[in-house]
Amino acid sequence: MTHPSLSAEEITSLDASLLWHPYGAFPSSTTPLVVTEARGTRLVLADGRELVDGMSSWWAAVHGYRHPVLDAAAAEQLGRMSHVMFGGLTHEPAARLARLLVDITPGGLDKVFLADSGSVSVEVAVKMCLQYWRSRGKPQKHRLLTWRGGYHGDTFAPMSVCDPDGGMHSLWTDVLARQVFAGPPPRDFDPQYVDEFERIARSHADELAAVIVEPVVQGAGGMRFHDSRYLTELRRICDEQGLLLVFDEIATGFGRTGELFAADHAGVSPDVMCMGKALTGGYLTLGATLCSTEVAETISAGEAGGLMHGPTFMANPLACAVAVAAVELLLARNWRGEVAALHRGLESGLAPARDLPGVRDVRVLGGIGVIELTDPVDMQAATDAAVAAGVWLRPFRNLIYAMPPYVCTGDDVRNITAGMLAAASSSRGARSP
Ligand code: PLP
């Protein structure tokens, strides 16, 4: 059956009257671009323009769009079953994915919960930590210690550990679980910072279940990088203070920072680890929460007799099959070389931004490039400038950043950095003296 297609104007009109967008409003002050197709590193717009994608659809589409291997994996799985419940049933895509994830993640992460998004994988991680301490007869250990400036998702447990200071969830401060916050780690290693963090952990140890952080890169909370030695210190502090350690690798996982997982920069194993986004190469929504056998067995020995979470779309076979293909594809490619090439291209392409007025910092790590302005960016003007340069970006706050697909060519990266410079030059911050 073919569907009658809508014109771009009809799509825009229906969108404006019916659809919420991320952090959106009615009526919306902006009009989203209509995308009709995405292939390789390009988004194709309804008016025929093609944009090089600097965003990988929010860190996810690392292999680019319409990759033949991923298309084939989805089609093949669709021919068998797109979904079955996971209560009382199991299937090959979930089994293969679990084995693959256990094999490639830091040692000791042996049990796999397949959730339906990044935020839900963080919900599951939080629940694991709280249930763990309940099972050990210490229900008072139910708070989390985290860094200010973080972002862990939009549902309630993740929101409670997002940046509390003017972050996008500060609206909810009065109804969120009360967590414990330490300052964000400085970029370079600072033993004094570690001492201060340790003091906070020690003074709250009786009520803390876990420390949860984004390792090496705090993403949507501010695109901040930090020395991986902090992770080693976190592991030590958690062991000494009797706290679980959770790494949220939803943005950093699968090569983005130059190691397969950000934890690998320090050779540290957390007790619980969350992933999502690039897990399916950005094809389908899927998250995973891995934990140690000790965490799993302790939870299971508790009064509930198991982990009390079980969503309808848990371990969705279609998403799992594509995830297996996406992870195997990543491992088969020279992803390390691709991310290193992205790093070099972003470094050289963004170097001129250092001389632009209103630019506070330019930083690159693996496949992540950031221009930080002194003032908030005019989001629409910056987006328009990038689009005029043939590039898709999504600046926020005072940040113009990119994390392109790993399959970008050198020309793609040159286009993306040129688009970032155009966005930076267009912004109010960069124009001010
Ligand atoms: N954690 C981190 C570090 C993220 O960057 C994100 C999304 O940007 C999330 C959690 C939430 O993931 P999702 O948007 O898939 O719910």
Which residues form the catalytic set? 23, 151, 248, 277
Query: 353 lies in a domain?
Result: no
Q: How far apart are CA 148 and CA 221, in angstroms?
A: 9
10 Å CB burial of residue 394 (0-12, 13-18, 19+) is middle
Instruction: Look up the ipTM and state it.
Output: 0.99
For residue 220, give the ligand 1 atom closest to its CA.
Answer: 5
As given in the structure block, the two tokens for residue 174 are 């009065």
Query: 325 lies in a domain?
Result: yes
As given in the structure block, the two tokens for residue 389 are 């340069």
CATH number, domain at 177? 3.40.640.10
Q: Which residues line ligand 1 (CB under 6 A)?
A: 58, 117-119, 122, 151-153, 214, 219-220, 248, 250-251, 276
With DSSP H G I counted as helix, E B as strand and the rest as coil, what are the percentages for the chain, rounded to 5? 40, 15, 40
pLDDT 10s per residue in the chain (433 long)? 556 699 999 999 999 999 999 999 999 999 999 999 999 999 999 999 999 999 999 999 999 999 999 999 999 999 999 999 999 999 999 999 999 999 999 999 999 999 999 999 999 999 999 999 999 999 999 999 999 999 999 999 999 999 988 777 778 888 999 999 999 999 999 999 999 999 999 999 999 999 999 999 999 999 999 999 999 999 999 999 999 999 999 999 999 999 999 999 999 999 999 999 999 999 999 999 999 999 999 999 999 999 999 999 999 999 999 999 999 999 999 999 999 999 999 999 999 999 999 999 999 999 999 999 999 999 999 999 999 999 999 999 999 999 999 999 999 999 999 999 999 999 754 443 3
- The confidence score (pLDDT) of residue 165 equals 83
Query: 46 lies in a domain?
Result: no
Residue nearest to atom 1 of ligand 1 (CA): 152
Q: Are 99 and 355 in contact (CB under 8 A)?
A: no
**Half-sphere exposure for 212 (CA within 13 Å, toward CB):** 36
Instruction: Please give the distance, rounded to the nearest whole angstrom, from the Cα atom of residue 10 to the centre of ligand 1.
Output: 31
Query: 109 lies in a domain?
Result: yes
Query: 381 lies in a domain?
Result: no
Instruction: Please give the distance, rounded to the nearest whole angstrom, from the Cα atom of residue 221 to the centre of ligand 1.
Output: 11
Query: 278 lies in a domain?
Result: yes
Query: Does an H or E element contain 360, and which?
Result: strand 359-365
Instruction: Please give the distance, rounded to the nearest whole angstrom, from the Cα atom of residue 356 to the centre of ligand 1.
Output: 31
Query: 11 lies in a domain?
Result: no
Q: Which domain holds residue 273?
A: 71-332
Q: Which of 55, 225, 277, 280 to mutate to test the pocket of ligand 1 (most atoms within 8 A of CB)?
A: 277
- The confidence score (pLDDT) of residue 173 equals 85
Query: 183 lies in a domain?
Result: yes
Instruction: Please give the distance, rounded to the nearest whole angstrom, from the Cα atom of residue 154 to the centre of ligand 1.
Output: 8
pTM of whole model > 0.90? Answer: yes
Question: How many domains are there within the chain?
Answer: 1
Where is the binding site for substrate, in residues? 58, 151, 277, 310, 394
10 Å CB burial of residue 177 (0-12, 13-18, 19+) is middle
